[in-house]
């Protein structure tokens, strides 16, 4: 008899009047918010604008949810399309069932569309978001705890997960694979953060490191699970997927480092730079309607400079050389001499 174990909740739903609050959905939502928040901090630190990560996520998250559900339904089609099963259940995402492989693949498509619309490189955005995705997965895995699903083989270890009787499950204590994967994802996030600071990863390599590290852990965790799954050559389908994706991620890191070493200098060009202020509308030469240039000078200044050379007593004729204060003094002296003679 176990004296210590991880208890499972008696229910994964709290009824708030007519509104059901599902633990699985809360874990997914909280994970998304944390990923966007942390990704935004990293994006701004890379030189991007605040809010860009959230704008791209508006596209990536819905695509990811659809892709994750499609992957689950396709790879576990017998749960929905076999005799005695109701195909409508394939749409009940709140009951669990999101394949991370489909979520990342379709989410990347949505992110690519949004990045093209904003004129920013997808690899740089993915690098900024990579640790946040791992943290989101760590949080999201607790949704499996609420639903009492995707646990491992029977065990009597002190941290065994207690499972109660229910549809497609037998009461007992099992390996808490949801907890193993949650802790592994936190380690992946820390690894990516450290490696990114140490090696200044760029051009999608931080994201590829996240993918490779996650697949390495998912392989052995998947091997421990006892839920129904398709097998290929004696291994679960998701184990093969983890192996293939791991190899692809490592190859990308190696080739990318040779082709495009270093990190992007500019991740989000400033497309909203405002022109220098003027007092009025400017023409194509940079002068406003009053003739003022961008530095505040005016054609009136040239006119005033020319007027300064005119005789102060005659507005129409410019002063000739030799005339001026000296000539006027001479005329005054002559008038004074004539007065003395008289």
Tokens of 220: 């052995």
**For position 275, what pLDDT does the model report?**
43
Check: CB of residue 40 under 8 Å from CB of residue 54. Answer: yes
**For position 84, what pLDDT does the model report?**
77
**For position 2, what pLDDT does the model report?**
55
**For position 3, what pLDDT does the model report?**
58
Check: CB of residue 202 under 8 Å from CB of residue 264. Answer: yes
pTM of the model: 0.75
> Within the chain, which residues score under 70 in pLDDT?
1-4, 271-342
Tokens of 161: 């997960």
Question: What is the C-alpha separation between 104 and 93, in angstroms, rounded?
Answer: 17
Mark residue 90 as left, alpha or beta (left: phi above 0; alpha: psi -120 to 50; beta: remaining).
alpha
């Amino acid at each position: 008899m176990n004296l210590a174990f991880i208890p499972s909740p008696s229910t994964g739903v709290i009824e708030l009047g007519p509104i059901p609050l599902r633990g699985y959905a809360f874990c997914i939502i909280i994970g998304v918010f944390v990923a966007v928040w942390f990704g935004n901090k990293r994006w701004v630190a890379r030189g991007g604008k605040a809010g860009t990560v959230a704008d791209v996520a508006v596209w990536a998250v819905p695509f990811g949810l659809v892709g994750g559900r499609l992957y689950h339904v396709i790879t576990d089609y017998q749960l929905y399309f076999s005799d005695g099963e109701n195909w409508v259940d394939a749409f009940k995402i709140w009951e669990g069932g999101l394949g991370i492989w489909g979520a990342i693949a379709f989410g990347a498509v949505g992110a690519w569309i949004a990045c093209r619309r904003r004129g920013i490189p997808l690899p740089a955005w993915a690098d900024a978001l990579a640790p946040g995705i791992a943290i989101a997965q760590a949080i999201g895995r607790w949704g499996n705890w609420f639903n009492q699903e995707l646990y491992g083989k029977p065990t009597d270890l002190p941290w065994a997960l207690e499972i109660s009787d229910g549809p497609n499950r037998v009461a007992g204590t099992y390996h808490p694979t949801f907890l193993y994967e949650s802790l592994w994802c936190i380690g992946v996030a820390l690894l990516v953060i450290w490696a990114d600071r140490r090696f200044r990863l760029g051009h999608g390599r931080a994201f590829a490191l996240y993918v490779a590290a996650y697949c390495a852990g998912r392989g052995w965790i998947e091997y421990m699970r006892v839920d129904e799954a398709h097998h290929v050559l004696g291994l679960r389908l998701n184990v093969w997927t983890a192996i293939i994706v791991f190899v692809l991620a490592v190859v990308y890191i190696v080739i990318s480092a040779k082709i495009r070493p270093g990190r992007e200098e500019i991740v989000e060009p400033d497309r909203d730079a405002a022109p220098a202020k003027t007092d009025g509308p400017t023409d194509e030469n940079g002068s406003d309607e009053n003739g003022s240039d961008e530095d505040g000078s005016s054609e009136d200044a040239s006119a005033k400079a020319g007027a300064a050379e005119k005789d102060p007593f005659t507005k129409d004729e410019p002063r000739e050389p030799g005339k001026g204060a000296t000539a006027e003094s001479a005329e005054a002296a002559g008038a004074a001499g004539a007065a003395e003679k008289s």
